[in-house]
Amino acid sequence: MFTEQQTSALSIRGLRKAFDDVVAVDGLDLEVLRGECFGLLGPNGAGKTTTIEICEGLTKPDAGTVELLGLNWNKQANELRQKIGVQLQETQFPEKLKVEEVLTLFRSFFKTGLTVEQSITMAQLEEKRSSRVGGLSGGQKQRLAMACALVGDPQLLFLDEPTTGLDPQARRNLWDLVDELKRSGRTIILTTHYMDEAERLCDRVAVMDHGRIIALGTPKELIALIGGEQIVEFATGAATPLDSVQLTGLPGVHSYRMHAGMHQLSVSELHTAVPEIFAALAAQQQPLTQFRTHSATLEDVFVSLTGRNLRDE
């Protein structure tokens, strides 16, 4: 028990939450270690935000327990709020307040924490300190939200879709900021539906679908789950159906699936597998109309687990 408290930043057991007749979280168990950057991944409606808002103490679960930093919401809510940092989806700060005024306000809620100055520097908002919120770009507003989450110097940080709606440059800036926070030893729990973001930032990810965790591990482990690090995608112009069993029997080919009108094979060694695939398709009289390969991503993991794209919904 003692050692678990030492190492575990977040511990969820049997978490369940339904809104009216929609089950948002359906029996969730999760352990996040201190110092980890953990990603909750999944399509919209998978239950990521509900899960994270229960962890933040904003939503009461129907069943299950949540323990953060060895504390829980029923008894130590005030203490917990002092120790965590929160960035919610779509918070709009008052447009007529200045950046430093917003941060001074949020800093005043915490007993200890960074100085307003430090939080401005961390979020790279130095040039915007006296600008009104209404005059900030989307990326700057998001960095202000991050600064508000950081100003209490939290050990545990919750980021709910931190880069949704940002342009690529602003996303990369925010990723750099998260990297810096990881280096300073904070535990970070973030939700995203961008696979590249999860691969880039997270030590471990949990893939969620319909309120459950369907896969859990490091991005590498998850990609290894589908059997190969490479994905071969092709389409053929033949009227006769493809013999997929023959293809999966080829050396280095691990699995076959049909996805979005394309045949997909997960493959471990491209240089040996691809000639074999060409030969087999020629033998089956399947003339290729498209052929491409890419390194397997978490997106492929999700597709192979659910048969759906992440952003289908």
Partner 1 sequence: MSSLSSSSLYQLTAQRFRLFFREPEAVFWIFVFPLLLAVGLSIAFRNRPADVLQVGGTTTQITQALNADKGLTATTLDEADGRKSLALGKILVLAVQQPGSVTFYYDDTNPDARTAKLIADHALQQANGQHDTVATKNEQVHEAGARYIDFVVPGLLGMNLMSSAIWALGFAIVEARQKKLLKRLVASPMPRWQYLGSFLLSRLLILVVEVGVFLTFARLVFGVPFRGPIWQLTLLCILTSLSFSALGLLLASRAKTMEAASGLMNLTMLPMWILSGVFFSASRFPHVLQPIIHALPLTAAIDAIRGNMLQGLDFSQLLVPIAVMLGWLLICFSLALRIFRWR
Q: Closest separation between CB of residue 94 and partner 1, Å?
A: 6
User: Nearer to partner 1 by C-beta: 54 or 303?
Assistant: 54
Q: Closest separation between CB of residue 49 and partner 1, Å?
A: 12
Note the residues at the interface with partner 1 (CB under 8 A): 56-58, 78, 81-82, 86, 88-94, 96-97, 101, 104-111, 148, 152
Q: Closest separation between CB of residue 48 and partner 1, Å?
A: 16
Separation of alpha carbons 181 and 17, rounded Å: 31
User: Nearer to partner 1 by C-beta: 111 or 271?
Assistant: 111
User: Nearer to partner 1 by C-beta: 12 or 205?
Assistant: 12
Q: Closest separation between CB of residue 114 and partner 1, Å?
A: 13
User: Nearer to partner 1 by C-beta: 100 or 199?
Assistant: 100
Q: Closest separation between CB of residue 131 and partner 1, Å?
A: 13
User: Nearer to partner 1 by C-beta: 111 or 183?
Assistant: 111
